[in-house]
Amino acid sequence: ELVVVGSLNMDLTVPVTRLPGRGETVAGAAAVRAAGGKGANQAVAAARLGARVRLVGQVGDDALGGELLAAVAREGVDVSGVRQVPAATGLAMIVVEDGGENMITVASGANGLLRLTDLDLTGADALLLQLEIPVAACLAAARQARAHGVPVILNAAPYTQGLEELLTQVDLLIVNEGEAAALCGGGTDPAALLALGPRAAVVTLGEHGARGQDASGVCQVPSFPVHAVDAVGAGDTFCAQLALAHAAGLPLAQAVRRACAAGALATTGHGAQTAMPTGDQVERLFAH
């Protein structure tokens, strides 16, 4: 079982013909409400890929919280570890222009209040974390996983300061180019990330694929050629597939290759969770 400790947000998207300026009101098309947040997205991606997944996190005790829990559960994710607390549910407000330019604000709400004391790691094959919850919660989860011999995978997104201690508890670090540069003060070489403490590091390079490094060496994996229409959700799908392949014991280069196939497929449809591929789809792209 993959245990994901992370965020759940309701994504509220309004399509517009052009983004509003400061103080301006622009009429939008029909609003779309969808389950999101990096924790929920990566948990759903892993479930879609065929894994048993348990999500641990928090939503508010409001209507959106219940809706969000139901949506993630419908995707086959075990949400018994998601608490409803007296707070607002995490909310992402997204305005997106024809052509893809967007403006986003995220109110973390219940996600920002997550405290972890004892995490149930019974049956866990791997722990997957992101940074839309407090770093202290990630650190507590990572320490417990380490103590139980459960591998820790951290997608250090969005970039957050104060990760020194957490990075020493990480088996596999996954970041995009911007996060890599922020973490190591410029440059996107996985070797520079390894110096921060993780046993393995992978940098995603969008349409250029991904680069990784661990004790056995360096790997450079090209992306799979697909007709990309929307990159939203590609990073989360990549992380879910890489975590599963790593937990299954695949060598890093093979795990990254599989993750690139999953990430590529996620770009061929619109939205985050709606466009996530199944394990069969990943196999088929592989066999090609």
38 annotated among ligand-binding-site residues: yes
CB-nearer residue toward ligand ADP: 152 or 265:
265
The strands making up 102-107's β-sheet, listed across from edge to edge, are 32-36, 9-16, 90-97, 102-107
Reading phi first (left if > 0) and then psi (alpha if -120 to 50, else beta), residue 281 is in alpha
Is 206 annotated to bind a ligand? Reply is yes
Q: What tokens were used for 124?
A: 């866990």
Q: What are the CA-CA distances from residue 195 to residues 183, 213, 256 (Å)? A: 11, 11, 20
Kindly write out the interface string for residues 203-232 of this chain, putting x where it contacts ligand ADP by CB under 6 A and - elsewhere: -xxxx-xx------------xx-x-x--x-
Place of tokens 């110096």: 195
Of 50, 284, 281, 38, whose CA–CA distance to 174 is shortest? 38
Which residues participate in catalysis according to the annotation?
A: 236
In the set 36, 140, 238, 246, which binds ligand ADP (CB under 6 A)? 238
Contact at 8 Å (CB) between 77 and 47? yes
Contact mark string toward ligand ADP, 185..204, x via CB under 6 A: -------------------x
Q: Does 41 carry a binding-site annotation?
A: yes
> Which residue, 110 or 256, has its beta carbon nearer to ligand ADP?
256
11 is in an annotated binding site: yes
The least CB distance from residue 84 to ligand ADP, in Å, is 29
What are the residues binding ligand ADP (CB under 6 A)?
A: 176, 204-207, 209-210, 223-224, 226, 228, 231, 234-235, 238, 260, 263-264, 267
